[in-house]
A and B are shown apart, each in its own frame.
Chain A
Amino acid sequence: MDIPRRYKSMFVLPGLITLVLIIIFPLLFTIRVSFSSWNVSSPQMDFVGVANYVTMLSDGRFWAGTLRLVLLAGGTVLIQYVLGFGLALLVWRNVLGRRLWRVLFLVPMMTTPVVMAAIWQTIFHESLGPVNDLLGRLGLEPVRWLTEAGPAVVALMTVEVWQWTPFMFLLMLAGLLSLPKEPFMAAAIDGAGAWRTFREVTFPLMAPVSVSAVIIRLIEASKLSDTVYVLTSGGPGSATESPGYYLYIRALKEQQTGYGGSLSLTYLILMIVTLTVVAALLARALKVKGDS
């Protein structure tokens, strides 16, 4: 190694050390912990082989939670995308109070998820909450929002959509604002209407941003736990239990550190693989469409 290269390496070293400390070391430590029986009454780094992973394979709650997450994350991100894109289109052009709308749409995202979940819990409160009150005024039966499986899932998805649609809105608006003007001028000269312009110009041009936004939100949604904790505690039964919340129970509340490590690693790998495949499929689908 020549001297300039050595100096270059020295400059990179602080960054590398930081990386090792904050990412690599915890990851390696978690891997090691996952092969131990470390629990609340025996905090020791022994070696139990793959025992935790074997236990995990037959852990119905974990797998049920993972499947449930597909619905929760997939459903909420899709709705967020549609709403976020729609709102971004609304304030993209010159509408009255455009700046005000842009700020207002961002408010939910800037609030703390736990606080918002607590507020939504009050909103969905079955005897005191305004939602059932409104339904009553309309002559409809009250809904058991947090104590019946179906409505509880709807309530949870509503909170997620409300909280994170602004994020999607922000990304989509940034994408729209960065689009070149020429294709739209050409479409206008060719006499394309609003819908055709959207279908043939806006949507294809926004494809890369769309894929990025959806993947970013899927990554975030896969960690869903704080809203579950506040809103339903995973109930009724385990109808709204997400893998993130289940991990919290096992690893932190019950302090099954070793088992929690194996769950979190498996979950991490599952998410990386799934999201990579989803990203590749989305990119390919949009690319094919763009080429045709």
Chain B
Amino acid sequence: MHNRSLQGLAAAVVALTVAACGGGGPAEQKPDKPAAFKPGSDVGYAKYGKDYPTTTVKDVPGPCSYESISRKDYSGQTLKVITHAVPVIGEPTVLHAKQFEELTGAKVEVVNVPFGELHQKILTPLQAGQPAYDVMFYPSLWIGDLASYLAPVPKEYLETPGMKDVTKAYMGVATWDGTVVQYPVDGDRHYLKIRTDVLKDPKRRAEYKAATGKELAVPRTWAEYQEVASYFNGKDVDGDGKPNFGSAEVTKRDDLMFSAFISRAAPFVKHPDVKGGVFFDVETMKPLINTPGFVRALEDMAKAKSAWPPGGANFGLGDEIFSFGGGQTLMSYSWDDAFIQAQQPDSRIRNKVEAAPLPGSAEVYNRATGAWDKKPNQAPYFTWGWTSAVAKTTRNEKMAFDYLCFFSNEANTALDLTIGRFGVNPYRNAHFDAAFWVKQGWDESVAKAYVKTLSGMEESTNRVFDLRVPGVNEFMSSLANGVAAALSGQKPAKQALDEVAAEWTAITERVGVEKVRTAYRNVVSLEDNS
């Protein structure tokens, strides 16, 4: 009796261990069932609630279409997904999970997590080897921390028309050491947004010329940006009885401020003729964050405070979105959201806005010669966006990739792009089609400028990407702290960035110089187009 109990206990322990280690092999693959959708059917979200637009699009035939996915039979199987909180990427995750359940019979459990906890919630089980989630949605710059735990995207998915249409830049973002490990679902970049009813108004132009002796135009450099922002700051230029302000920027220390700073620094630090890294010298791994280009950008950012709205020094991304998107400020730069907000059907500034490339600089720091080169420079910043991946530990790899394939199929993406709160932005060549945006009610000129700005970034060969290395959160947290210290006047820009550089050296040593260097080579390769 005693022996039998022990044997039973041992068997239970072994079974639990095997289960915990994700053993048991892949889930059962059932034969396809008849399609529940006809090819080319109309697809829309209206039936899921009044918060969704009534827009419909055609299901585009292909392996990820509604029609194809509805042939799959995943009944009795469960897919576990972790994603950001609703609405940004979290809402489309939930919506497409529900649709996937309806089409395939699968059960999809979605866990929505606030941004501050997402990294830890994803990484900790992966490091422990626990198959906590099959599918993960997260910011693409975490790839350095996560790549070794991700299942490569299988060839059959890489061959889908949707995947083949992903732009070169975003395929690069999804690739690590030559293998595609992230499934592209979003494309993000920072660009400039301006109010055309002010900056392109002949009366305002004449007024600006008379006051400053300069032509009022879309700013091409950060210096011009500051001049325009300062001139209009505090004036009621749209006649609503309230003052308008020059510039809205993401300045809250722990709320993506580091990305705003990189946008400002990019043209000063990314020299088209100097290869080998923007944040580090990839050969020596010496931080470059305190070099004169970064210092100049930080000094400029500190001066820009005078053109921010009240509270602008504590603006998170949400504040920036509503400040520009709501018509309070005349210019801003960051992700698409503020622009899409301004272009919502009920927006009072709809079609009074325009997208333009990020401002550049009149000179660029050459770290190879240690001198400033007097030549105009522009450096688009491909900041992080949302991405997705499948865990290596999953037992449901096929279902997981089918879910992502469905999530990002042509019909879903076309609808998702039009819902600003979803946080899904253009990442396929097909998305750079002005006609699509005109159909959403955008003026042709607005749509054309938007598409030209976004596609122009793709064509640039002088681009800046995020520091996608292990420990990226630590590096960016340190940077944000230094930038915040300078913006608040606690420290001069140079001192603040010297301290950041010292911290970066310590972080690099702690994480492992070779580990960071190997990862950073992936970033440098994207920036140097090599």
Q: Which residues of A contact B (CB under 8 A)?
A: 37, 39-43, 61, 125-127, 132, 142, 144-147, 149, 229, 232-239, 249, 252-256
The answer to whether A41 touches B145 (Cβ under 8 A) is yes
Q: Per-residue 0/1 for B303-335: is the Cβ within 8 Å of any A Cβ (1 yes, 0 no)?
A: 000000111111000000000000010000000
Min Cβ gap B325→A in Å is: 14
Q: What are the 7 tightest A-B residue pairs by CB atom distance, in nearest-first order?
A: A237-B488, A126-B311, A126-B310, A147-B313, A236-B488, A41-B470, A127-B310
Residues of B within 8 A of A233 (CB): 252-255, 314
- Looking at B15-23, B175-183, B452-460, B471-479, the stretch in contact with chain A turns out to be B471-479
Residues of B within 8 A of A249 (CB): 254, 477
Whether B485 is near chain A, meaning CB under 8 Å from some CB there, is yes
Quick one: closest B residue to A233, CB to CB? Answer: B254
- Alpha-carbon distance between A233 and B491 when the two chains are bound, in angstroms: 18
Whether B10 is near chain A, meaning CB under 8 Å from some CB there, is no
- Alpha-carbon distance between A127 and B322 when the two chains are bound, in angstroms: 13
Interface of A is mostly: loop
- Alpha-carbon distance between A42 and B485 when the two chains are bound, in angstroms: 29
- Alpha-carbon distance between A254 and B471 when the two chains are bound, in angstroms: 7
The answer to whether B471 touches A125 (Cβ under 8 A) is no
Contact A239:B477 (CB < 8 A) given known A41-B512, A127-B310:
no
Question: Which residues of B143-196 have CB atoms within 8 Å of chain A's CB atoms?
Answer: 145
Interface centre among B254, B310, B328, B511 (most CB of A within 10 A): B310
Residue in B120, B484, B515 whose beta carbon sits within 8 Å of that of A255 in the complex: B120
Interface centre among B128, B309, B471, B491 (most CB of A within 10 A): B471
Whether B291 is near chain A, meaning CB under 8 Å from some CB there, is no
Quick one: closest B residue to A124, CB to CB? Answer: B311
The answer to whether A127 touches B253 (Cβ under 8 A) is no
- Alpha-carbon distance between A256 and B477 when the two chains are bound, in angstroms: 12
Contact A40:B474 (CB < 8 A) given known A142-B310, A233-B255:
yes
Quick one: closest B residue to A132, CB to CB? Answer: B310
Quick one: closest B residue to A152, CB to CB? Answer: B314
Q: Assuming A39-B471, A236-B314, what are 7 further A-B pairs, CB within 8 angstroms? A: A127-B310, A237-B489, A238-B481, A239-B488, A255-B120, A255-B474, A256-B474
Whether B123 is near chain A, meaning CB under 8 Å from some CB there, is yes
Contact A147:B253 (CB < 8 A) given known A239-B488, A254-B474, A255-B473:
no
Sample 19 A-B pairs with CB under 8 A, ordered by A number: A39-B474, A40-B473, A41-B471, A125-B311, A132-B310, A146-B311, A146-B314, A147-B311, A232-B314, A233-B254, A233-B255, A235-B253, A236-B487, A237-B489, A237-B490, A237-B491, A238-B481, A254-B473, A254-B477
- Alpha-carbon distance between A229 and B246 when the two chains are bound, in angstroms: 28
Q: Per-residue 0/1 for B504-515: is the Cβ within 8 Å of any A Cβ (1 yes, 0 no)?
A: 000000111001
Quick one: closest B residue to A236, CB to CB? Answer: B488
The answer to whether A255 touches B119 (Cβ under 8 A) is yes
- Alpha-carbon distance between A145 and B311 when the two chains are bound, in angstroms: 8
- Alpha-carbon distance between A249 and B473 when the two chains are bound, in angstroms: 10
Residues of B within 8 A of A142 (CB): 310
Contact A238:B470 (CB < 8 A) given known A125-B311, A146-B314:
no
Min Cβ gap B116→A in Å is: 6
Min Cβ gap B277→A in Å is: 19
Quick one: closest B residue to A125, CB to CB? Answer: B311
Min Cβ gap B370→A in Å is: 30
Whether B3 is near chain A, meaning CB under 8 Å from some CB there, is no
The answer to whether B484 touches A253 (Cβ under 8 A) is no
Residues of A within 8 A of B530 (CB): none
Whether B127 is near chain A, meaning CB under 8 Å from some CB there, is yes
Min Cβ gap A136→B in Å is: 11
Contact A39:B488 (CB < 8 A) given known A232-B314, A236-B313:
no
The answer to whether A127 touches B328 (Cβ under 8 A) is yes
The answer to whether A144 touches B474 (Cβ under 8 A) is no
